[in-house]
A = this chain, B = another copy of it.
Amino acid sequence: MAATLHDVARLAGVSIKTVSNVINDYPHIRPTTKERVEAAIAELGYTPNLTARSLRSGRTGSIALAVPDLALAYFAELAASVIAAAEASGLVVTIEQTGSGGRQRELDLLTSPRRKMSDGLIFSPLEMSQDDVAHLNVDYPLVLLGERIFEGPTDHLTMRNVEAARAATEYLIDSGRRRIAIVGAHEGELIGSAALRLQGYREALEAHGIPFDGRLIGPSIEWHRANGARSMREIIERGVAFDAVFALNDTLAFGAMRALQEAGLRVPDDVAVMGFDDIDEAQYSIPSLTTVDPGRAWIARTAVSTVIERIEGLDAPPRLLLADFEIVQRESAPAVAR
């Protein structure tokens, strides 16, 4: 059905290679020939078969992005930025969701034959751990996002979780809060965003001589809104006093605000709320959410440019790239408590 180089070549009365040369702007083509070929291309509505081109060139012109779940605003916004950045470099993005498939699903993803369908992978694992570091030894360009694995054999982009969480906590302390609850901790976790942010929290407390109180820690495996609300209710039901909440991400924070309201606690009057991620919604929630912008836009852009460098053959030791963060001040936690 679709026209091929052969069809165009026959119509234009030249060899297929000449047609190919016209398409690829090879310099030495007689203008009249070029014209004839272009006319034939237009007449047949020829477009190159990218699959064949891929086979020949070894490049697919696409990169894969693997995230846990696009329905999570953080990953959706990350994906939007990655797609935009890739497009600027002429690449398309296929998205894989690891969902609730767990560790095995993530490992399978790394070795799936589908990897051959893209030139590289930007991977944000959720379940893999340091023990799986060997699985990252793959023969295609791989850029790792997140905090599950360190010192791997690949380029790694991450945020300054400890420093950012510490800064967020100190912001709450500076605004006059002393009893700061946490929502979203993963119990027993050593690395991973939750553990690192928790560590930043503890460092901030310690630096200000505030004792750590385990009863202020609300655990939660997943980071959906519902989990934030549940975790917050748990803390409230313990009857322990608190005047601020640091939610380990924005989504949890929205759930937590919801639970606070149900309990008759006012934000920020009774309880200040700090999030983490600065998703779009944080600007428009009621109250709007004070949060940490962990440099998501930079991460997306850099992930794409980094994977492209590797695709183009850059041979350098694995790099660890850290995004800058910023506290975005909004209503849920004003700089100074009244």
Using CB atoms and an 8 Å cutoff, list the residues of chain A in contact with chain B. 1-2, 47-52, 54-55, 60-62, 69-71, 73, 76-77, 79-80, 83-84, 87, 92-97, 99, 111, 113-114, 116-117, 139, 224-226, 229, 254-255, 257-258, 261, 280-281, 283-286, 288
Contacts and interface: CB of A to CB of B under 8 A. Distances in A.
| Main SS class of interface, A | helix
Given A51-B55, A116-B49, A71 B254 contact: no
B226 A284 contact: yes
Nearest to A64: B92
A256 B87 CA distance: 33
Q: Which of A62, A69, A92 has the most CB of B within 10 A?
A: A92
Number of copies: 2
B286 A258 contact: yes
Contacts of A280: 71, 224-225
Contact of A80 (B54, B71, B285): B71
Contact of A92 (B47, B48, B96, B99): B96
11 contacts: A49-B55, A50-B117, A51-B54, A70-B70, A71-B80, A79-B95, A93-B95, A224-B280, A226-B284, A254-B285, A281-B281
A48 B117 CA distance: 11
Contacts of A261: 286
Contact of A113 (B50, B139, B224): B50
A80 B76 CA distance: 9
A150 B69 CA distance: 32
Contact of A97 (B62, B84, B99, B229): B84
A314 B280 CA distance: 42
Contacts of A285: 254, 258, 285-286
A95 to B, nearest CB: 6
A117 B49 CA distance: 8
Contacts of A92: 94, 96, 114, 117
A285 to B, nearest CB: 7
Ordered nearest first, which 7 A-B pairs have the shortest CB separation? Answer: A76-B76, A225-B284, A70-B80, A71-B80, A94-B94, A47-B113, A51-B54
